[in-house]
Amino acid sequence: MTGEARPRIRHNDYSPLTPPPLGDWVPRLTASVVIPARGAQHRLDLTLAALAAQTYPASLTEVIVVDDGSSPPLRLPEIRPENTRIIVSPPGGRGPGHAMNAGIAAAGGEIVHRLDADMVICAEHLESLFRWHHLTDYLVTIGGKRFTEEPELTPEAVYDAVKRGDFDSLFDPAALVASSTEATIERLDGLRKSRNPYQVCTGPTVSLRRTLLAEVGGFDPEVVRGQDTEFAYRLAQAGAVFIPDPAARAVHLGMPAQRGEHREAIIRLVETYLAHRVPLRRDLRKDRGRRWLVPFVEVVFDATGADERRVRAAVDAALGGTLTDVAVTLVGTWPDPAAPGGPQWHGPAFDRALVHELLRHDPRVRFAERPAPTAAPAPFRYTAPIDAPPTGDLLERMTKVMLEERLGMLVVELDGGGTATLERTEAVARARLLAAPGERLTDVIEATHGVRHAAEREFRRAAGRDEPAAKRPEPAGGQAAQEAERRAARRREGQAARPAAKEPAPAQPGGRSVWGRLGLFRRS
């Protein structure tokens, strides 16, 4: 919002925002309603008839229907909004996410609204949701919905009833089935008290500013079920606030798929997609030995000036803890494997080449000249000195505290000196949106989520007693390293006088080196 200070919202409590009364304000933002559709022409006709009777100005609204492989192709009915067109979903994909991305690319509105092709909405539906976007630009607004078996309706009847404000006359109240999200929204004070409000953003009617949508890059076309929840999760990591508006009423024609004969299969499919892409769903990641697409925590080390042994030890420690869905970002100047020229056999350049070749094949390890602004899509980022990596269950305990206390940042005084930070991605992203020029992000995070300072030893306790701190890798050249080398030399001298005995390999967690584990984490 150029030249305008954004309101500072703590967690998802949007109480500081007061939307204008319906019918008593002047809209100014253009809006694009994108409708992914496949077949079911009659239901689409009813949806477009209701859209033609909206109170939000038609001059500010366009409607884009994306035909996702219908046979016969969809057509525009006689009763429809003034600025309505059909485009065909491009080749190379199929499904609502792919179709939505095509519609978004064709849309020109400052607000983008995603609407199912089997929704009949009340006259104030768009106005109810869009008025919030005139207050600030990091909101996601959610319309209400109830389900019904499709009644005998015509587009003319829908348009007339919606236009005259008699939406309720279209449906038998006794036949309407409430959405499961309605009870959640009410229990959590309209999501103001929700810890994970993105979970109720399931798609049939959702709107947001185009700038926020661009921040997360649209829908994931690979997700064929649960794509709206996955999209909403990424919006949450971008700092979004989620607002359901009960005035935006709608009826979904047909019962939810989760209630049909394939209910169990659909739920299993959704959970499979979300398990890889929504790390906050810890209930879906109970197999601790599996590798996941999106990590729960990104660990960042500045490897500048560190030799190969120190970097290897730090990465081993971070990836070898009890929290297994972790990725490591190594910050420094790294060689280009395709660059001409032979290796340098000593000095920092040699160590960088060793580190890069050793770790570049592990998809859990990333190389960067500088960290990305946030850890998105990972929900947490832990930044520590390379000689003080997290060991054992340290990350697991810290993230547990962050989740329980809803903190935005944890600043940890390390046992050996120095500090480490654990950041919540959504808090950092929101702080970047809200911070005034020259303002510290930490101060904004304190206002929106909270910042806590703690000693490292606080997270090494169990059953009311202190646990001994897990041993950290010794910096190369330290006294312990020198003593270890002297002991190794003495062993070699003693072994020279007798036949060599096979020495067992050091045990690794799970019986194998952490470098041998496969991963599926994104490199981007």
Contacts of 407 (CB under 8 A, 6+ apart): 401, 424, 427, 449, 450, 451, 452
> What is the Cα–Cα distance from 173 to 62, expressed in whole angstroms?
31
> What is the Cα–Cα distance from 84 to 80, expressed in whole angstroms?
7
* Stretch among 214-228, 235-249, 342-356 having the lowest mean pLDDT: 342-356
Q: Which of the following CATH numbers is that of domain 297-459: 3.40.50.2000, 3.30.1280.10, 3.90.550.10, 3.40.50.300?
A: 3.90.550.10
% residues pLDDT > 90 (the chain)? 73
> What is the Cα–Cα distance from 119 to 101, expressed in whole angstroms?
20
297-459 has the same fold as 31-278: yes
Strand 419-424: give its sheet, edge to edge.
Answer: 365-368, 326-331, 297-302, 380-383, 419-424, 409-413, 451-455
The fold of the 31-278 domain, in CATH, is: Spore Coat Polysaccharide Biosynthesis Protein SpsA; Chain A (3.90.550)
Structure tokens at 9: 């919202």
Look up tokens 């065909």; give the residue: 88
Q: Give pLDDT tens digits for 52-68.
A: 999 999 999 999 999 99
What is the model's pTM?
Answer: 0.86
Q: Give pLDDT tens digits for 66-118.
A: 999 899 999 999 999 999 999 999 988 888 999 999 999 999 999 999 999 99
Q: Give pLDDT tens digits for 394-442.
A: 999 999 999 999 999 999 999 989 999 999 999 999 999 999 999 999 9
Task: Single out the residue of 17, 406, 3 nearest to residue 241, CA to CA.
Answer: 17
Domain ranges of the chain: 31-278, 297-459
